[in-house]
Amino acid sequence: MIFSRTWALREKGIDEIEDMILNQNKFDEGEAFVGGVGVVRHTISDKIIGVCTRSISFFVNLCQRIDPGLNGHQSKDVKNYE
């Protein structure tokens, strides 16, 4: 959904990913953090302000609620996003 041409689907995709990562606790925190950063990296520069602000909101929530405790492999993944 975050790769959709339709902005409403991109926004909904961020909502669904945030729900999976922050509310359903299906993933290891380090992996969830890395995945969340990947979503934010792709959506934060969106031309539609609603998608951009939703991405920023997701990133803030991600940083506040997950202590990634990244291992060496995951730290390299985050550095690749820089």
Residue found by looking up tokens 């990244």 in the block: 70
pLDDT above 80 for 77: no
Q: Note the pLDDT of residue 60.
A: 92
Residues 9-36: pLDDT tens digits?
A: 999 999 999 998 888 777 777 788 888 9
Entry pTM = 0.76
Classify burial at 6, counting beta carbons within 10 Å of its beta carbon; exposed 0-12, middle 13-18, buried 19 or more: exposed
Q: In 3D, which of 57, 55, 60, 68 has the Cα closest to residue 27?
A: 68
